[in-house]
Amino acid sequence: MTADTRQARSHPSGLARSARLLQLYRREPVDPTPFYEFLATDTVEVLHRHGAAVEGLVVDVGGGPGYLAEAVRRAGGHCLVVEYEEAELHLHERVPDGAVVGDGQALPLRSSVADVVHSSNVLEHVRDPRRLIDEMVRVLRPGGLVYLSFTPWWSPWGGHETSPWHFLGGRRAAERYHRRTGQEAKNLYGRNLFELHLPTVRRWLRSEPRVETVWEGPRYWPPSWAPLCRVPAVGEVVTWNYLAVLRRVA
Ligand SMILES: C[S@@+](CC[C@H](N)C(=O)[O-])C[C@H]1O[C@@H](n2cnc3c(N)ncnc32)[C@H](O)[C@@H]1O
């Protein structure tokens, strides 16, 4: 049995997976690596389940220090990280093997080159999220898969480090954070954190003729809870973090 197979077999599923994610997530501020490594392994699992060619070329838009890149490498593939902030490539004393500094809204890649295009929690950080989706689809080859996740604004974590005060307004939450800590939030409302709602993104995905949705639902909850993301209004809150797996069909 290869190390990869052993890892896949030991990776929890269903409620056990969600409980483990929650446990690691709560420790993330003091010990980030276990959470991001678990999530990266989990992402490769999800991609395999949907038949993605992970052993081909994976592009990770906004991939930071390369946790997914490492998991893809272990699975026998090659991952190119396209990251906007050079400093993010060096987080947690890591740096991805293959990375370029570039904007996901104008990917420095030719069309139809990637087998998989991945973006985790980047969409709510860009001024033109629709353009980012458009670019992800452009560089994907027909038949390839997109893995797209983001935190909707009305998620309990929608305001990121200013949560839950974002429920009273993003600007107010950012001002409160500044007053309390003496510094600006890293994810600053209006600069690199924007109000992006789940129904808006779902509508865009449905209206994009080049892709079909293979799976959508709350990323951290058991797959059987997928319908939560379709519940009007409250669905955005309880989904917490949304995941769509898309296939390029044209
Ligand atoms: C919340 S972090 C997520 C990092 C990583 N994808 C993950 O899930 O752990 C958001 C990342 O998106 C990057 N980012 C923001 N705007 C971007 C853009 N226009 N193009 C590419 N990356 C961008 C940030 O620099 C940061 O690394």
Domain residue ranges of the chain, discontinuous segments joined by +: 3-152+196-248, 155-192
Q: In 74-139, at which residue ranges do the beta strands (DSSP E only) sit?
A: 78-83, 99-101, 114-120
Q: Where does residue 94 rank: exposed (0-12), middle (13-18), buried (19+ CB within 10 A)? A: middle
- pLDDT given at position 34: 95
CB-ligand 1 contact for 68 (6 Å cutoff): no
CB-ligand 1 contact for 33 (6 Å cutoff): no
CB-ligand 1 contact for 152 (6 Å cutoff): no
CB-ligand 1 contact for 105 (6 Å cutoff): yes
d(CA 158, CA 125): 11
Q: What pTM did the predictor assign?
A: 0.94
User: What topology does CATH give the domain 3-152+196-248?
Assistant: Rossmann fold (3.40.50)
Q: Does residue 60 contact residue 68 with C-beta atoms inside 8 Å?
A: yes
Of 108, 101, 47, 104, which Cα lies nearest the Cα of 77? 47
Q: Which stretches of the chain drop beneath a pLDDT of 70?
A: 1-9
- pLDDT given at position 166: 98
- pLDDT given at position 7: 53
CB-ligand 1 contact for 123 (6 Å cutoff): no
CB-ligand 1 contact for 61 (6 Å cutoff): yes
Whole-number Cα distances in Å, 198 to 20, 218, 230: 25, 11, 9
d(CA 26, CA 216): 24
- pLDDT given at position 96: 79
Q: What is the DSSP letter of 246?
A: E
- What count of other Cβ atoms lies within 10 Å of the Cβ of residue 235? 19
Of 234, 199, 194, which Cα lies nearest the Cα of 216? 199
Grouping H, G, I as helix, E, B as strand and the rest as coil, residue 86 is helix
- pLDDT given at position 61: 98
**Å from CA of 62 to ligand 1 middle:** 3
- pLDDT given at position 1: 45
- Residue 173 tokens read as 């939450």
Query: Which of 84, 117, 130 is the best mutation target for the ligand 1 pocket, counting ligand atoms within 8 Å of the beta carbon and taking the most?
Result: 84
